[in-house]
Amino acid sequence: MNFLQFSFYLFSVILIVAASLVVTVRNPVKAVLYLVLVFFSAACIWLTLEAEFLAIVLVLVYVGAVMVLFLFVVMMLDIDVARLREGFTQYLPAGLVIAGVMVAELAVVMLSGRFSLDAIPRPVGRGADYSNTRELGLVLYTDYVYAFEIAALILLVAIIAAISLTFRRRGGTKVQVIAEQLRVTKADRLRIVKMSSEITDGEKSQ
């Protein structure tokens, strides 16, 4: 077993253990953290496949941004685990049937021979100076440019739709008009009054 195989098995074991902990651990915040570990191990496995751009982007986007927001939301929610577990036995048969069907479907696809080791040619190993990122960029922006741009547009529309669906203007909220705040000068806010000094009653008596 060389180092590459060793690291593959190491990261795979970590990934599978963490993934099973995501669904079994009681605390939702810990579940999210295990999911972070799953993404991180997956990125490490991709690195051993020489897909360094995808691996780093997985860490950057999913671990660095998406999961942070996820964690943010889960921490804010008051999740009642007991209530979530209430219908467990009731839904168990249906869940088992669905899981069984999914496993069977996967087995049909996987055992069909299309995904066997002989069907997929062994990828050519590249040297350290081979730029994975450059190749990916060239393919994305030439051969697949329309698909890529359309996907970007769909994502943009999805963002706008999500915001416009959930954004409601409540009455009575106070909003600062920043432009007005920035335009303010000293003359608008401050009035300097010239006056002669006065002696108050307290000082007189001394």
Position 174, amino acid = K
What are the CA-CA distances from residue 26 to residues 19, 90, 103, 202 (Å)? 14, 20, 25, 70
Closest CA to 100 of 111, 112, 90, 108: 108
Is residue 33 a contact point for other proteins (CB under 8 A)? yes
Nearest distance from C-beta of residue 15 to other proteins, angstroms:
17
184 touches other proteins (CB under 8 A)? no
* Dihedral angle over CA of 48, 54, 58, 61, nearest 10: 160
The mark string for 37-66 relative to other proteins (x by CB under 8 A, - otherwise) is ---------------xx--xx-xx--xxx-
Q: Which of residues 92-111 bind other proteins (CB under 8 A)?
A: none
The CB-of-66 to other proteins minimum distance in angstroms stands at 10
Q: Which residues have a Cβ under 8 Å from the Cβ of 75 and sit 6 or more positions away? A: 29
Stretch that binds other proteins, among 28-36, 90-98, 113-121, 193-201 (CB under 8 A): 28-36
What is the radius of gyration, based on Cα positions, of the chain?
A: 30
Site for other proteins in 124-143 (CB under 8 A): 128-133
With CA atoms as reference, report the closest residue to 67 among 47, 42, 39, 46: 39
Of the two residues 183 and 204, which places its CB atom closer to other proteins in the complex? 183
- Coil, helix or strand for 150? helix
Stretch that binds other proteins, among 71-79, 91-99, 103-111, 155-163 (CB under 8 A): 71-79
Which positions touch other proteins (CB under 8 A)? 29-30, 33, 36, 52-53, 56-57, 59-60, 63-65, 68-69, 71-72, 75-76, 128-133, 176, 178
